[in-house]
Structure 1
């Protein structure tokens, strides 16, 4: 039985500083390659949209191909997270990056050859399914190294969310610049190259990898998704994903409609930049409110921020509205990852993180597909109705089922782990309960 720590107490420990976190021995050996490997995550969907839009001329087709990739990632990602918990991260990463490179290459060739949409779907599915779950793996490494330092671990989750947002600042700008200045295919080529190089370099850092939790004969292994709280958080992250997906397609359509197509990456980057700045500041505060209360508040701010996007009359107004919408993204994600880590035992943490990441990807797929269809039928502004609808449904679920976000304390679901392993969360749970 493995106890879980709880962050629902209003007297949770103050956060440690980012400087102290980055001085953790061995941190930079996995952080640097991880950044290179996770940057393509923010390039893949937009790169697909830009390429397919150029070759097939339909926002609906482009959004649907990107959606197929995102759905595949959402469904397969948690399974690779479970395999990483059991067999180790390197064992999962090496075949993943190989499949990803081949799949993206096939997608590029089919798109340039003006293949039918169903053929693009067949290539997009393995391309998305093989995206390395680097963000979840990095968080699992932090948990393995800082499980007895809750203040430092909270800061690590904040740092990771800020890093995610930074990739969403740089990634869209980079993908758009390469696609418009070189060729639409070049954006995806760059994405695949970074995925392979960064993924292999990250996999090579075995000294900082978390302890494997191989299956023990006779022990029952339960999925992280068996936790009602994890399912609720995944549903709420689905809503956040619709914001990402709809924004990518809608911003591209809006800028194209006014003859400023090359500005789409910049506008989306500013949206992500607002999230990144908010995440940095959020991680510096020693919050006295419980994580559950913060989750509800941050998510409500996200809904408010999304509510004005559809009414923006010009590019400047849209950029400002996108900036304010983005301010709520990182705080919501940081709090969600902090909560989910308390709801599962040690042998399922990577899987739990990948369920949240996968939910974002699935929401991105839904958002990009619905927004693309609305844009084709009613114009660019219609696509901006999707973020407020998706986030609104997510908020309603959180409010109605918020009691599920309370960590179960010392009660534990049986998760297989090595014989004799110490219950690493027990001291933390006792200290904070």
Structure 2
């Protein structure tokens, strides 16, 4: 198909992605990132079921999040230094073994008392820390493959944000379905299988060659380029701005999830919270895809401010519904600016990071979401105990306002650069 014709169709720009990366890359990368979306809810479900304690299940889910927040930047750093392929292969094996350790801690423990609790929580922490960071490292590959082509980069990052949204809707749904129909261990068996098969396939996919790490071999072949790479300064004062944006985004997510739990609980249907949250994720995924068609004259700094402002205004609607159907409508509306905001922050993060630190920065951005989600969930849960779901939704509103403030600061820094 001629390029002009392709770009004229609604999906024309996305048809370029398989041509750039190969037709197998999209399905492999999509399935390889599913385990990350299953772990937190899976740990909560499994440990709650076998221990009979919501507290232990909640602590285990928190341990997974903390482990991921610690391990993700480390995986990104080593991928920058040694290359994605070896780091991802090692991570896949380590993660599969840690999943087995969590299952052993759950089913081979007579009771959850004293040291046994710490063993289970330690296993959950290790499982989070070793989880392969497929989404951030896929973005690094796209940035390398679409270098100097802003339209293709926007398209690729829009797709990546949509893929993340869909997996974080599909992952928890799979956990709930498999745990309810068979047993709480089955989601972990599926996650282990996907990790060892699909993450390994992602690791060895030919696109890994598009990212050149600073290795001894590169130094030997291209000493001047390698020396320049090592000397490229990382302005962490600038990098921290998009990371702060992702922390605000994660806080919004965590607070909204817990507020929806409280909202559903007010009707005696707390188990519907996941379905309600999925509505927000779906509208966010659709608008993330639309970013590829936004005008190139609409700068990334302006996009961030506009999307964050829309989040801040629309999040106020969360305080209004008292019934399920109006809440569904509100969630659809609130989700609209979320996808474009995430796409824009990842793009800006890629712009302010040196090429040889892209993996580190992308995984830091992903970790920001994890940390913020834990923060938002904890604060909103505590407030919901006293002030109900509307109090918890105020935490989400506060997070979106914080996002707007960070976007303004980030816009000033980006424009200076």
| TM-score, normalisation: structure 2 | 0.84
Structure 1 residue runs of 5 or longer lacking an equivalent are 1-14, 409-433
C-alpha RMSD over aligned residues: 2.9
Render the CA deviation track for 1:351-387: whole Å, top value 9, x for unaligned: 2211111111111121223333344555555433332
Residue of structure 1 equivalent to 2:31: 36
* Contact 1:302/1:391 (8 A) holds in 2: yes
Distance 1:287 1:25 in 2: 21
* Cα distance change of structure 1 residues 267 and 50 upon mapping to structure 2, 3 Å threshold: farther
Render the CA deviation track for 1:164-220: whole Å, top value 9, x for unaligned: 112123223222222233333333333333233221111121454333322559958
Matched, 1:146 2:109: no
Distance 1:152 1:308 in 2: 35
Matched, 1:115 2:108: no
Please state which structure has a larger fraction of its residues in helix. 2
Residue of structure 1 equivalent to 2:45: 50
Report how far residue 151 of structure 1 moved: 1.6
Distance 2:381 2:280 in 1: 19
Distance 2:144 2:187 in 1: 35
For residues 267-416 of structure 1, the aligned pairs below 5 Å read 267-376=276-385, 379-400=388-409, 402-406=411-415, 408=417
Distance 1:135 1:187 in 2: 20
Distance 1:57 1:305 in 2: 39
Residue of structure 2 equivalent to 1:413: none
| TM-score, normalisation: structure 1 | 0.81
For residues 217-228 of structure 1, the aligned pairs below 5 Å read 219=227, 221=230, 226-228=235-237
Report how far residue 310 of structure 1 moved: 4.7
Residue of structure 1 equivalent to 2:174: 174
Distance 2:147 2:75 in 1: 23
Aligned residues: 394
Paired residue for 2:260, among 251, 270, 275? Answer: 251
Structure 2 residue runs of 5 or longer lacking an equivalent are 1-9
For residues 85-100 of structure 1, the aligned pairs below 5 Å read 85-100=80-95
* Contact 2:254/2:376 (8 A) holds in 1: yes
Distance 2:120 2:146 in 1: 43
* Contact 2:14/2:155 (8 A) holds in 1: no
Distance 1:29 1:194 in 2: 16
Distance 2:334 2:233 in 1: 30
Residue of structure 2 equivalent to 1:3: none
Paired residue for 2:61, among 48, 63, 66? Answer: 66
Distance 1:134 1:33 in 2: 10
Report how far residue 241 of structure 1 moved: 0.8
